[in-house]
Structure 1
């Protein structure tokens, strides 16, 4: 099973330089992939392209770009450029986003997100596989009066979706290559998420989907102190219905209840639980919450497990 980390360099003089440094450290520890979130700051596909060029041993991915406020033509250009820059090591993650950020940031009504996701994926798949599109949907139009292929980009950039709800999982199984569930513990993965997306893929005649489970976790001796920090940092997710649902179905009440925090034996056992639940890949996030020493300790364990 592939194991990676989500990288987020904060409180630094130069975020790009600092992220490349972290990526080199992650690769040296034996980790297989580095993933980058998308907010209103650094551009995630661009950062993935830079890191992929600087650290050739790593797969790189975006987790994940919200589809509202973006168009398949532009996202395809970003993805193909990064795919060419990394010689086929880029994985594009998409997300529905949230009502608060969509309407507050872009001034766009957060309406019919799953229908938009379906159309976005259909148009984007045409573009990344053929470099052309002639799609006329109810919500999205994407056509190519000029070629949209990036020479050097291998056809078919892997498309993943941060899907966890039943309708989004169905669309992702039918049209994407896999999913990026976050804050979804092994129980909800095994009982709800993996069966739903797998059944949708089978019904559509598609291969078994990738299940890239994003997990907040850290190896530490200060379990209670770290959990307190994680509780504070992750409280924002408890205001988003899609996350509260999977936290509850995972058996938790707070977002930090599904975080993996403990010594090497504890964390290794939890990684195995994710694998048993159907995760094909595990990506650890928030490994820096307890400081550099525990981050390096966490990465050393994950590198051993990946090997």
Structure 2
């Protein structure tokens, strides 16, 4: 029988050679900037190596929050998953990212994407035409600015001529839900950021397309950072109820509804997500069981995990428990 310490040492190393802790990032709620900064500081103290934040439509600016957090931390990586492209000119996005890089060199991973029509068109009043084509052009401009320091771009959506004061090779990741987005990520990105995708769908559809697309371009496949929901509870019934409450709106968004259908979980009338879908999306149980599941997922071919806490009883307490778990992987 294998010694438990040997087994644990084996589990702590990934197939890529990086420790598991380096491949598991924690999502921080950015609804109140001051609390988000404190949560990032606490996550670093707990040993978390990567945090992620999502730019919600009417929440405080994520990159501004990161600038504040960067001044109070030293090593934790800061990732956006995602900042929507349509409300922000690509040159503006590049300059904001450069500011974070100046404060915290090498710690920013810039995840961007088009977001959703109900938000961009319904809330912002912006036209959302051919979002993947728009995103391709957007990434080209941001990369030219950050990586080369010079933008001379004339395209369908943007005409930009600018020279940045210095370069910063910040990884540029893009949001991915369906086949076209995974294909684009393989062609142009430094990482794919699926959100709320069932794991079998990522392994059978997303990952193969990502790798094949990169191969066709002669590129090394970018990492797939899989979004997983985690509840620090062994009461599965309470977990499912809390998860459904937290993610119920996603079934009403067309991009997600289409992805769920592709994954074999079509939503019901009114965007209601099936019990099978909700059950497939959330990890729960003891700390040992959750850590074991992280290792299983990373051993299955996924490059990294983007872990979103699901609050069952107390969101702050459970987030801190999850940070401690990740920091000890």
RMSD: 1.9
* Offset from partner CA, 1:180-201 (integer Å, 9 cap, x none): 1111232111101111111111
Q: How does 1:155-166 map to 2 (within 5 A)?
A: 155-166=168-179
> 1:221 deviation in Å?
2.7
> 1:49 deviation in Å?
2.1
* Offset from partner CA, 1:51-96 (integer Å, 9 cap, x none): 1221112000111011112211111011111111111200100112
Moved more, 197-206 or 288-297: 288-297
Match in the other structure for 1:299: 323
Distance in 2 separating the partners of 1:222 and 1:55: 35
Distance in 2 separating the partners of 1:20 and 1:69: 24
Contact 1:218 1:287 in 2 (8 A): yes
Match in the other structure for 1:124: 142
CA gap of 1:248–1:275, structure 2 versus 1, over 3 A, is farther
Distance in 2 separating the partners of 1:160 and 1:183: 16
User: Residue 278 of structure 1 aligns to a residue in which SS?
Assistant: coil
Q: How does 1:1-307 map to 2 (within 5 A)?
A: 1=20, 2-8=23-29, 10=31, 15-39=32-56, 40-144=58-162, 147-149=163-165, 151=166, 155-248=168-261, 250=263, 252=265, 253=274, 256-257=278-279, 258-291=281-314, 292-305=316-329
How many residue pairs are counted as aligned between the two chains? 296
Distance in 2 separating the partners of 1:143 and 1:9: 33
> 1:111 deviation in Å?
1.1
* Offset from partner CA, 1:248-279 (integer Å, 9 cap, x none): 55565356331212222432233233213322
> 1:28 deviation in Å?
2.2
Contact 2:118 2:253 in 1 (8 A): no
Contact 1:32 1:57 in 2 (8 A): yes
Moved more, 266-275 or 231-240: 266-275
Which of structures 1 and 2 has the bigger CA Rg?
A: 2
Moved more, 25-34 or 290-299: 290-299
Contact 2:111 2:174 in 1 (8 A): yes
> TM-score, normalised on structure 2?
0.84
Distance in 2 separating the partners of 1:266 and 1:240: 32
Distance in 2 separating the partners of 1:221 and 1:262: 4
* Offset from partner CA, 1:138-171 (integer Å, 9 cap, x none): 1222221xx323x5xx522100011121111111
Distance in 1 separating the partners of 2:310 and 2:246: 12
Contact 1:52 1:59 in 2 (8 A): no
Distance in 1 separating the partners of 2:200 and 2:289: 17
Distance in 1 separating the partners of 2:297 and 2:313: 23
Distance in 1 separating the partners of 2:91 and 2:218: 26
